[in-house]
Structure 1
Amino acid sequence: MNETTDPNSQILLMAIIAFYWAFLSSWGKRQSRPGEDKAKPDVPTERLAGSNEIMSSGDTPLEVIRKSDPSFDPATFLAGAKAAYEIVLLAYASADIQTLKRLVGPEVLDIFERAIAGRRAREEMLQLTFIGMREAAVVGVLEEDGIAEIAVRFVSDVVTVTRSANNEIVSGDPQQIIEVIDTWTFAGDIQSRKRNWMLIATDGG
């Protein structure tokens, strides 16, 4: 079953995803290391085992990474993380597995795929409108053997409605904006020329 029934909404959704995916493609490239080539609601928030065991040092969290890579730009990272957050929410709502595969790790992808399969089995459709991001802040960092894991706390506003096959509302309210608080953990190889950050864990609240 298709996850959306309005062709115009689908076209708009894909345009948004394409725009932000283009942005994310340069997320890692803008963080190239010195001397290298400059040529990179109904949202599942199950906590993965050990997913948020992120350790912070006595310094501010991102100092952990800057000690290993002085070229790391926290502002650029957060801009990419916020874009990734919106893309993933929209891709999940529209059951865009291909986009999710580009942005999330295997364990998180499995959670998303099972949730999407459950909606399809129930012949339900999720309609999600992303209103805006209130806050995005790094709350923890772990860096080991060149691999960094950065936990980001997002506070956003969304409208989410789940509808049945006959368009009846199963959950949510199309007239209500709700606040969503998530902590997502991104991992990336900070020694790589093309640093691709992947979502490896989610935690609601």
Structure 2
Amino acid sequence: MNETTDPNNQILLMAIIAFYWAFLGSWSKRQSRPGDDKAKPDDAPTERLAGSNEITSSGDTPLEVIRKSDPSFDPATFLAGAKAAYEVVLLAYASADIQTLKRLVGPEVLDIFERAIAGRRDRAEMLQLTFIGTNDAKVVDALEENGTAEIAVRFVSDVVSVTRSANNDIVSGDPQQIIEVIDTWTFACDIQSRKRNWMLIATDGG
């Protein structure tokens, strides 16, 4: 996928996100209990480009803190939406689609992405990204505090990533190589709001 991403594909992916995220709007408005025993993931977003939905069924899982507040919360539906958002954000980042990023990521992550995109533009470079697929998506942490729910998801995906110069020379990456990327992204939502829009608030490679 390159800087001239097919707009039809972007529209389709945005529709998928809206569909899944709409399901998540059924969260209750009850004030939640803070998950004191769950450490918050590192907030430092990275530029690393990071498939089966997986929820462990044993005892005390990270999502128990969410389920205690809202037994109707559907982890599988959340993960489906998170996977769709993951792909759209990566493609939007690659194609310098700031407007799409503004709808899906929080201010801190947006600032990182905008500066990276501006740097690419200043160097007259183009990022070509082909998203092969997400092999695994698993919730690794979750908390609720002060009316805000945060869920960290670990993604394992395959991509082809190549950065080219204005002369089409390869600056980094290999167009013939599929690489496995592991990222942990944290999504947040104000559960006291009628519009419960999940936003990407932190990324962590590895």
- TM-score over 0.5 for the pair: yes
Quickly say closer, same or farther: Cα 1:28–1:180, change in 2 above 3 A. farther
1:19 aligns to what? 19
Deviations 1:148-180 (A, max 9, x none): 111100000000111111111111111110000
* 1:30 CA drift (Å): 17
* 1:142 CA drift (Å): 1.5
* 1:191 CA drift (Å): 3.3
Quickly say closer, same or farther: Cα 1:49–1:147, change in 2 above 3 A. farther
Counterpart CA distance in 2 for 1:69 and 1:27 is 7
Asked if the contact 2:3/2:127 (under 8 Å) is kept, the reply is: yes
- Could you list the runs of 5+ residues in structure 2 that have no partner in the other structure? none
Quickly say closer, same or farther: Cα 1:165–1:19, change in 2 above 3 A. farther
- Could you list the runs of 5+ residues in structure 1 that have no partner in the other structure? none
Asked if the contact 1:127/1:160 (under 8 Å) is kept, the reply is: yes
Counterpart CA distance in 2 for 1:93 and 1:186 is 20
Quickly say closer, same or farther: Cα 1:55–1:112, change in 2 above 3 A. farther
Q: For structure 1, which segment, 2-11 or 162-171, has the greater mean C-alpha deviation from structure 2 after superposition?
A: 2-11
Count of residues in Structure 1 that have an aligned counterpart in Structure 2:
205
Asked if the contact 1:3/1:124 (under 8 Å) is kept, the reply is: no
Deviations 1:66-87 (A, max 9, x none): 1112221111110000000000
The alignment partner of 1:38 has SS state of coil
State the Cα RMSD in Å: 7.9
Normalising by structure 1, report the TM-score.
0.76
Counterpart CA distance in 2 for 1:11 and 1:174 is 26
Q: For structure 1, which segment, 141-150 or 86-95, has the greater mean C-alpha deviation from structure 2 after superposition?
A: 141-150
Asked if the contact 1:24/1:83 (under 8 Å) is kept, the reply is: no
* 1:195 CA drift (Å): 1.4
Asked if the contact 2:126/2:164 (under 8 Å) is kept, the reply is: yes
* 1:57 CA drift (Å): 13
Counterpart CA distance in 2 for 1:52 and 1:202 is 19
Deviations 1:31-66 (A, max 9, x none): 999999999999972699999999999821111011
* 1:10 CA drift (Å): 8.7
Normalising by structure 2, report the TM-score.
0.76
Quickly say closer, same or farther: Cα 1:18–1:142, change in 2 above 3 A. closer
Asked if the contact 1:108/1:199 (under 8 Å) is kept, the reply is: yes
* Identity score, percent: 90
Asked if the contact 1:157/1:179 (under 8 Å) is kept, the reply is: yes
Asked if the contact 1:28/1:40 (under 8 Å) is kept, the reply is: no
Alignment of 1:175 onto 2:194: no
Q: For structure 1, which segment, 170-179 or 48-57, has the greater mean C-alpha deviation from structure 2 after superposition?
A: 48-57
